[in-house]
Chains A and B, each alone.
Chain A
Amino acid sequence: MPSPLSAAASLALMALVALLSASTISPAVVDATALTYNVAAHERACFYAWNDIPKKKIAFYFAVQSGGSFDIDVDVRDPNQKQLLALEKERQGDYVFTANEVGEYSFCFSNDMSTFAEKAVDFEISVEHEKRAAQMEAAEKGSGPQAHTNAMDESLFRLGGELNQIDRMQKYFKTRENRNFATVISTESRIFWFSLSESALIVIMSAMQVFVVRTFFSSGKRSYV
Chain B
Amino acid sequence: MAINVTRWSICLLVLLSILPSVFGLYFYLEGSEQKCFTEELPKETMVTGEYTAEEWSEEHNKFIHNKEVGIEVIVDELPSGNRIHSQKLSPKGQFKFTSAESGQHAICIFTSTAGWFSSTKIRLNLDLAIRDIMDDATEASEGTLSELAQRVRDLNHKVGDIRREQSYLRDHEREFRDKSEATNGHTVTWTIVQLVVLAITCAWQMRHLRGFFEARKMI
Contacts and interface: CB of A to CB of B under 8 A. Distances in A.
A, B assembled together: yes
B136 interface: no
Given A163-B158, A170-B166, A195-B190, A37 B37 contact: yes
Interface stretch (B1-9, B92-100, B113-121, B199-207): B199-207
Given A33-B127, A127-B23, A206 B202 contact: yes
Given A177-B176, A184-B176, A195-B191, A170 B169 contact: yes
A116 interface: no
Contacts of B19: 50, 52
A36 B38 CA distance: 5
Contacts of A203: 197, 201
A210 B202 CA distance: 11
A97 interface: no
B60 to A, nearest CB: 18
A210 B209 contact: yes
Given A160-B155, A163-B155, A195-B191, A202 B198 contact: yes
Given A180-B176, A185-B179, A188-B182, A31 B216 contact: no
A46 interface: yes
B205 A209 contact: yes
Interface stretch (B24-32, B69-77, B80-88, B137-145): B24-32
Interface string A166-182: 11001001100100110
B155 A156 contact: yes
Interface residues of B, number: 55
Contacts of B126: 33, 35
A80 interface: no
Nearest to B26: A48
Contacts, number: 131
B23 A191 contact: no
Contact of B148 (A50, A156, A163, A184): A156
A214 B218 CA distance: 13
**Chain A interface residue bracket vs B:** 35 or more
Contacts of A214: 212
A82 B102 CA distance: 42
A85 B94 CA distance: 33
B150 to A, nearest CB: 10
Contacts of B194: 195, 198-199, 202
B186 interface: yes
Contact of A38 (B27, B38, B209): B38
Nearest to B16: A52
A173 B169 contact: yes
Interface of B: 15, 19-20, 23-28, 35-39, 126-128, 148, 151-152, 154-155, 158-159, 161-162, 165-166, 169, 172-173, 175-176, 179-180, 182-183, 186-187, 190-191, 193-194, 197-198, 201-202, 204-205, 208-209, 212-213, 216, 218
29 contacts: A31-B24, A33-B126, A36-B39, A37-B35, A37-B36, A38-B36, A45-B27, A48-B25, A48-B28, A50-B19, A52-B19, A156-B148, A160-B158, A163-B162, A167-B161, A170-B162, A177-B169, A177-B172, A177-B173, A181-B175, A188-B179, A191-B187, A195-B190, A198-B194, A199-B193, A202-B197, A203-B201, A206-B204, A217-B218
